[in-house]
Amino acid sequence: MDFSLLSFPQWQGSDGRTELHSGAQLLASTFGAEPLLTVSTQATQVEQNIWGRRTLIQHFLEAQRQLKGRNLQQYITLGGDCAIEWALISHLNELCRGNLLVVWLDGHADLNTPETSYSHTFHGMVLRTLLGEGDPEFLALTPSFLRPEQVVLAGVRELDTAEEAYIREQDITLLDAKTLRADPGMLLEAAHQKGFEHLYVHVDLDVLDPSQISSIGWPAPEGLLLQDLLDLIHRIKTDFHIQGASITEYLGEDIKDLVVVQDILEAFRV
| Cβ neighbours of residue 258 closer than 8 Å, sequence gap 6 or more | 26, 27, 30
* Element holding 259 (H helix, E strand): helix 257-269
> pLDDT by residue for the chain (270 residues), tens digit each?
579 999 999 999 998 889 999 999 999 999 999 999 999 998 889 999 999 999 999 999 999 999 999 988 899 999 999 999 999 999 999 999 999 999 999 999 999 999 999 999 999 999 999 999 999 999 999 999 999 999 999 999 999 999 999 999 999 999 999 999 999 999 999 999 999 999 999 999 999 999 999 999 999 999 999 999 999 999 999 999 999 999 999 999 888 999 999 999 999 998
Q: State the pLDDT at residue 25.
A: 97
Confirm if 106 and 208 have CB atoms less than 8 A apart.
Answer: no
Q: State the pLDDT at residue 1.
A: 56
Confirm if 84 and 7 have CB atoms less than 8 A apart.
Answer: no
* Element holding 154 (H helix, E strand): strand 151-154
In the three-class reduction of DSSP (H, G, I as helix; E, B as strand; rest coil), residue 77 is classed as strand
Q: Return the number of other C-beta atoms located less than 10 Å from residue 144's C-beta.
A: 17
Roughly how many angstroms between the first and final C-alpha of the chain, as a whole number? Answer: 7
Q: Return the number of other C-beta atoms located less than 10 Å from residue 259's C-beta.
A: 11
Cα–Cα distance for residue pair 161/73, rounded to 1 Å: 36
Phi, psi dihedrals of residue 101, rounded to the nearest 5°: -100, 130
Q: State the pLDDT at residue 44.
A: 87
The CATH topology of domain 4-269 is Arginase; Chain A (3.40.800)
Q: What is the 3-state secondary structure (H, E, C) of 199-250?
A: EEEEEEHHHECCCCCCCCCCCCCCCECHHHHHHHHHHHHHHCEEEEEEEECC
Task: Kindly give the pairing relationship between strand 50-51 and strand 46-47.
Answer: antiparallel
Residue type, 125: M
Short-list 155, 137, 143, 13, CA closest to 89: 143
Confirm if 198 and 95 have CB atoms less than 8 A apart.
Answer: no
Domain coordinates in residue numbering, the chain: 4-269
> Bridge-partner residues for 173, per DSSP?
152
